[in-house]
Amino acid sequence: MLIAQITDVHIGFDPNNVDEFNQQRLVAVLAALAEGPNQPDLLLLTGDLADHGDQDSYLRLKAALGDCPYPWFPLVGNHDVRDNFHAIFPDYDDGHGFVQYVQDLGDVRLVMVDTLEEGRHGGAFCDQRAAWLDRRLGEAPDKPTYIVMHHPPVECGIEWMNTDPEEPWVQLFSAVLERHDQVRGLICGHLHRSVTASWRGRTVAICSSSAPQVTADFTPLDSERPDHRAMIQAEEPAYALHRWNGRELISFYMSAGQHPVLARYDERMQPLVQHLEAERPVSPDI
């Protein structure tokens, strides 16, 4: 099974411009998914879908996704506004106004978690969300499960994007997961960078943005002294492909755009393919 991920779309950064830069970048990613060799079985949209959380931007996003030949599942991030999101996407309410739900995919399960606190840039998680997550994880204690959410609970090192590991929401979220060993890992966005981290015995796979990226600068930052460092840069729009092989999830971080082909599978490359194949153990007949 192949799970695609797009995150931090930020449609509406340039209001009233249907050809804005972020919209063009989203279209490029959707085209790469549609035209590439690896069409996914489903698509995750992991928050910051609309830059200002307005209904018009959500309508534009919905229209852009209209031709997707596979199902897609949205979440909210810190730039989103729940009421406006629910007005356009009414099917993802957990019954208490949060954007939380479960997708059972046969031999693996995805649990979508809402980490938005409107007006706050960083993540959030409250007792009500914790109780919901605890119940939903308790429904399938033996099935491999991945949590999908916008904010990663890890300290990334880019100071203005950091999450403090002692933040109350991180501690509450961690306490829930400690009771559920079937949770293999987390799929997140928010950082506008492709990052893989080990967090409390689980893997956190963080996809970069379809919108412009955060500059990876780990030097100390003084909030009282602007130093004119680069903060945002426009590399190619990014997405991820998470491949579930029946045992584990393998994450590939991709980018849309023109990529020159330097080799193809032809007679010249065939000996290498055959050599690599011969190195693998022969599967026993079943």
pLDDT in tens, 43-79: 999 999 999 999 999 999 999 999 999 999 999 999 9
Average pLDDT (12-37) is 93
d(CA 242, CA 44): 10
On the question of pLDDT at 229 being above 90, the answer is yes
At a CB cut-off of 8 Å and minimum separation 6, what does 77 contact? 7, 8, 46, 47, 48, 49, 115, 116, 150, 151, 189, 190
Quick one: pLDDT at residue 79?
98
Report residue 250's pLDDT band, with 50, 70 and 90 as the boundaries.
very high
Residue 203: strand pairing partners: 185, 198
Q: Is the pLDDT of residue 286 over 60?
A: no
Measured CA to CA, the distance from residue 81 to residue 165 in angstroms comes to 26
* pLDDT for the residue 16: 84
Say what the pLDDT of residue 19 is: 87
Give pLDDT, residue 257: 87
Closest to 48 measured CA to CA, from 94, 17, 16, 13: 13
State the Cα–Cα distance between residues 27 and 21, nearest whole angstrom: 10
**Which tokens hold the place of 215?**
């500059």
Residue-range domains of the chain with CATH: 2-279 (3.60.21.10)
SS3 label, residue 169 = helix
Reported as half-sphere exposure (CB side, CA atoms, 13 A), residue 124 has a value of 14
Please provide the average confidence, as pLDDT, over all residues in the chain.
Answer: 95
Q: What is the DSSP letter of 193?
A: S
CA distances from 124 to 46, 50, 98, 152, 203 (A): 15, 19, 12, 11, 20
Q: Answer yes or no: is pLDDT of 208 > 80.
A: yes
Q: Is the pLDDT at 268 greater than 60, yes or no?
A: yes
As given in the structure block, the two tokens for residue 284 are 């026993």
Q: What is the pLDDT of residue 88?
A: 98
